[in-house]
Chains A and B, each alone.
Chain A
């Protein structure tokens, strides 16, 4: 019985949050890794693109809520997502046309593009603050819990409750759908194959008649979709706050690098590696330990690191990977 309680506590406090967080990171890292594979630079503006996408989704959600539209138990934001994606796609396509294309034609060094993306980051960040302000925004509606802790306790008679937020569940379901669709697109369609060809060998791809600008455009649209979905899901799950998205940049990059920059499969694996390490290392294990070894009463919270150091976890994993396997778990690009 105690073991069962320990298991439920573990599920409730570690596994469910880590799976949801991991899905959000994986979606973010997929965007970073796609840009890296096709456009060949690390996009520092990605966090703020996510913020922009989430903001666009929120604004449309409010509009829909004002019209009285509702999805019942599901959050209205789901309905607003396509609009958010459209706005974000417009933003990144305009940015690409006005900013990045010039450097692509010049064949500028990747690090110049990174600095340029820093400028784009400033502008996107400024836009988001300008439009929606810096305060917290709530846009979650519909059912709050899939299972609430009380219902679970009544159902099973266990001491520990298991609460699954509907947003966490939604995050995972949406992430799975998006990832399946993305892999189907990359592996099965002509356009997807031309994207992979372009990523593997630009010259050969050009030689076989692939239009590079079209590949770039499609990449940006996919990245906008991924960023908006990741941003909106993160916002639904944890509340929207413009500056948190900038802080997500580190775990997202860590996930992409751990998986191997340029490898979509790696980005997903990396996202979950980072999320699980972050949650397990900053979780206070006292409760679980109490159930498993009841005779030992630990003094503290049995927490390896305080939650404020969650950046340190992604950083440490990043350093370990850099030291021992610089190309990442799934052989990414090394240059």
Chain B
């Protein structure tokens, strides 16, 4: 049930790896890796709920993570009052109209008797609704986006504390997951994969293009922090005095201090989630989930509503990914929709879950930390390796230059090889389900 000594050794190993970076390079780098590793571990926990508990194949993690980041902006950035005055109402009204159209179409489909008339009415409602929506919505968007576009040009957020954004990010992701799950669950497993792949691309496209929402590719920077700024620490006489007394340089110490504060925040969230996930897994609910995963037909025969339970766990897992996304945006202090890449935010998380051990929460956390470490370190290692390989070649030869330039792409290759090796020789992962 709990950790064996072998698992503890594995965790210790990862921490030694990270600490070694601290000793040989700098503690700043090591803590940076650890912080993102903790966030990745939370994402891996979320995916493990979907895949490990229930066998659901979600390849849209990137979208849910991005929605979490959007949550951070929507909650914590100060509102742009001018923009609200210019077109806020129109936008809200437009969105409400759009929602009403979808609801009306769904109602028409449910209430009317089956036949050509029903399809016609539904299509008519959707088409008319779309044009009314655009009529109301578009001028609002134009008005909002023209308000000081260089620095704002969006509606801004609610100006609330950023920590509140974390659960909100989770809620946003849960909402999207509900909509996807409602359509694609209960069909074949590949369909869910394709549907989630699609929704992730659409979410990213939306965040890149809807400038009124979060400035699109112009990025939102300066998301408020839950921890003090380095510069404030450096100007705080009591901090400087204490640090000097311990013999540290105040500039380095301040940035390490900030990272440590982030780390303690992330660690407490991770431990709390881990506790929740463990209790859920070992409750009757968890046993039911695993029973459904192992034999859907038998579970259904026992009176379990398979589709409803799948929807439930899919929403929960996606919410955890959204939470991690909000935490990541908080850590970065910015939302940059252009940087969300499926290889980095979807498939890498999958490598974490598989390598760590699907079905085991501790495994997911271990995988998150270890794979994130490797993801960061493979590039310098690859560079050293390629420099070794090309050492014999003449300087200035195009092949040598090409190989050295290609070191950056070693990551994908390595991750793919790790994934395939684990799947082949140790399919249950480092910390197997038990």
Contact = CB atoms under 8 A, between A and B. Distances in A.
Chain A CB count within 10 A is highest, among B202, B209, B342, B410, for B202
Contacts of B189: 110-111, 114
B243 to A, nearest CB: 43
Interface in A295-333: 300, 304, 306, 308-309, 311-312, 314-315, 318-319, 322-323, 326
A154 B193 CA distance: 51
B191 interface: yes
A99 interface: yes
A99 B420 contact: yes
Contacts of A142: none
B341 to A, nearest CB: 8
A99 B409 CA distance: 22
Interface string A208-219: 000000000000
B428 interface: no
A215 B298 CA distance: 35
A250 B347 contact: no
B357 to A, nearest CB: 14
Contact of A126 (B57, B184, B195, B409): B409
Given A110-B190, A126-B410, A322-B195, A312 B202 contact: yes
Contact of A334 (B138, B188, B198, B410): B188
A319 B179 CA distance: 11
Given A122-B415, A323-B183, A133 B201 contact: no
B81 interface: no
Given A42-B193, A133-B405, A133-B406, A122 B57 contact: no
B416 A319 contact: no
Nearest to A98: B420
B309 interface: no
Nearest to A129: B409
Interface in A117-169: 118-127, 129-130, 133-134
Contacts of B419: 115, 118-119, 122
A175 to B, nearest CB: 23
B209 A306 contact: yes
A204 interface: no
A116 B201 CA distance: 22
A159 B177 CA distance: 50
A111 B194 contact: no
Contacts of B412: 122-123, 125-126, 129
A173 interface: no
Nearest to A125: B412
A133 B406 CA distance: 7
A115 B354 contact: yes
A111 B57 contact: yes
Contact of B190 (A102, A114, A127, A314): A114
A312 B420 contact: no
Contacts of A304: 130
Interface residues of B, number: 47
A308 B343 CA distance: 20
A291 interface: no
A257 interface: yes
Nearest to A334: B188
A116 B423 contact: yes
A322 B184 contact: yes
A112 interface: yes
Given A308-B209, A311-B201, A42 B194 contact: yes
B413 A254 contact: no
B158 interface: no
A44 B416 CA distance: 13
A77 interface: no
A116 B406 contact: no
Contacts of A111: 55, 57, 189-190
A141 to B, nearest CB: 23
B343 A257 contact: no
B205 A311 contact: yes
A303 to B, nearest CB: 10
Given A115-B423, A116-B423, A311-B198, A121 B188 contact: no
Given A118-B347, A126-B412, A309 B198 contact: no
B166 interface: no
Contacts of A118: 59, 347, 350, 419
Nearest to B197: A250
Given A122-B347, A322-B187, A308 B201 contact: no
A272 interface: no
A250 B184 CA distance: 15
A6 interface: no
B406 A130 contact: yes
B111 interface: no
Contacts of A318: 194-195, 198
Contacts of A253: 194, 197
Contacts of A247: 201
A259 to B, nearest CB: 13
Contact of B199 (A127, A315, A323): A315
Contacts of A112: 423, 427
A121 B195 contact: no
A123 B417 contact: yes
Chain B CB count within 10 A is highest, among A110, A111, A254, for A111
Contacts of A246: 342-343
Nearest to B209: A308
B29 to A, nearest CB: 24
Interface in A38-56: 41-42, 44
Nearest to A251: B198
Interface string B45-76: 00000000001010100000000000000000
Contacts of A120: 416, 420
A282 to B, nearest CB: 12
A177 interface: no
23 contacts: A42-B194, A44-B59, A99-B424, A111-B57, A111-B189, A118-B350, A122-B343, A122-B351, A122-B412, A125-B412, A126-B412, A130-B410, A133-B405, A133-B406, A247-B201, A249-B197, A306-B209, A308-B208, A311-B205, A312-B205, A315-B201, A322-B191, A335-B188
Given A112-B427, A122-B413, A311-B202, 7 more contacts: A114-B190, A118-B59, A122-B415, A124-B416, A249-B197, A257-B194, A308-B205
Interface of A: 41-42, 44, 99, 102, 110-112, 114-116, 118-127, 129-130, 133-134, 246-247, 249-250, 253-254, 257, 261, 300, 304, 306, 308-309, 311-312, 314-315, 318-319, 322-323, 326, 334-335
Q: Which 9 residue pairs across A and B have the least CB separation, nearest first?
A: A122-B416, A126-B413, A126-B412, A123-B416, A315-B198, A119-B419, A129-B409, A119-B420, A42-B190
